Amino acid sequence: MTSIRIALILAAALALLSGCETMEKSWDSTWGTTKGYYKEYINPDPTVDYEARDWGSSEEKLAELFTPVDKPIDLLGVYLNRKDRFPEDEWTEKLFASFPWVSGLAVVSLGGDVLYQRPETSLKPLNPAPALAVGQELADRRLRSYIDMTPLGPEMYLATALYKENDLAGVILVHFDLRKVLEFCPQPNDLVILTLEDVVWPGSDTAEATSLLALPWVETLKNEIQGRVSDGGREYIWLTRYIGDHQLIYLTQAVDDEKAGFSLFGLF
């Protein structure tokens, strides 16, 4: 019996090592790391928690801050990307019921005509241009995304192809104010969100966030999906995530005097 147990333990260990090796060779997206964050630290349903935290590690801090923001957006992308026909009333009602923070839905032809919009008017003008600029490449059915940095705040768009019979006819757009999703974050002032072009959410220090944006992210993201950076004497931990084809970079200041313990970064 003892020999059988030893054999099973060895088999499990070899499987784990093999899995880690395979994971390292297949980083064509950031899902693996994000899945680890979700599983290790976060309750699947985002909640608002205004109590101050005493994080034991920087990884734990970043996970608890970014996941309640990132996961709802990811789920919205999954819901939208399953749709390629003109949205029925039932589908639309479920969209707004499941994602009440969504600002609007629009269906736009390839020529730029708005075929359907809900609500019919909004404070921020509808901006389908970046999605339409993709043109016939929309036929690959991949989810697209972009952020419109408006005077009224950042509006994020998710876009998927619209088909009429078997022909590409336009795009289905869902858009929302990122600040609404940040309401799920327990301490949004401790989180910074960047793209390669803009400071999407500065946290509590706009000047510092602007300085972080100036770091060489294009080169960094060619080879890394997570890490640490120093700026102005402060150390930040960061992780990048794709929403559709658009990359978001989540950062938070590293925890001082981190407690020794389990580190997700050691696994990937």
* Domains of the chain (ranges, CATH numbers): 27-67+187-267 (3.30.450), 75-179 (3.30.450.20)
Q: Describe the chain by its helix, strand, coil percentages, rounded to 5.
A: 40, 25, 35
Q: pLDDT band at 1, cuts 50/70/90?
A: very low
- What's the pLDDT at 52? 53
Q: What is the mean pLDDT of the chain?
A: 82
**pLDDT reading at 179 higher than 50:** yes
Q: Return the pLDDT at 55.
A: 85
pLDDT attached to residue 53: 65
Tokens at residue 106, please?
């629009």
pLDDT of residue 63: 96
**pLDDT, tens digit, 9 for 90 and up, residues 45-98:** 444 444 556 788 999 999 999 999 999 999 999 999 999 999 999 999 999 999
Q: Is the pLDDT of residue 120 over 50?
A: yes
Q: Give the percent of the chain with pLDDT over 70.
A: 75
Over range 24-53, report the average pLDDT. Answer: 45
Q: Is the pTM of this model over 0.95?
A: no
Say whether pLDDT at 20 is over 80: no
CA 62 vs. chain centroid, Å, equals: 13
Cα pseudo-dihedral 109, 197, 23, 16, rounded to 10: -120
* Whole-angstrom distance, CA of residue 63 vs CA of residue 47: 14
- Hey, CA dihedral for 81, 87, 91, 92, is it positive or negative? positive
Instruction: Specify the pLDDT at position 42.
Output: 42
d(CA 212, CA 238): 11
- CA distance to 32, 98, 123, per residue, from 249 (Å): 16, 25, 27
Mean pLDDT along residues 125-146: 95
- Is it the case that residue 115 has pLDDT exceeding 70? yes
Question: pLDDT at residue 21 above 60?
Answer: no
**In this model, does residue 17 exceed pLDDT 90?**
no
Count the neighbouring beta carbons within 10 Å of the beta carbon of residue 30.
Answer: 16
Per-residue model confidence (pLDDT) at position 260: 41
* Residue 193 burial class via C-beta count within 10 angstroms: exposed 0-12, middle 13-18, buried 19 and up: buried
pLDDT of 164 strictly over 80:
yes
Residue 258 confidence (pLDDT): 62
> Which two structure tokens, joined as six digits, stand for 249?
């970079």
**CA pair distance 3, 226, nearest whole angstrom:** 41
Stretch 9-35: mean pLDDT, rounded?
39
Report pLDDT for 121. Answer: 84
Residue 128, pLDDT above cutoff 80: yes
- For the segment 186-236, what is each residue's pLDDT rounded down to a tens digit? 999 999 999 999 999 999 999 999 999 999 999 999 999 999 999 989 999
The residue among 221, 222, 255 whose CA lies nearest residue 239 is: 221
The pLDDT value given to residue 51: 53
For 92, the 3-state DSSP assignment is helix
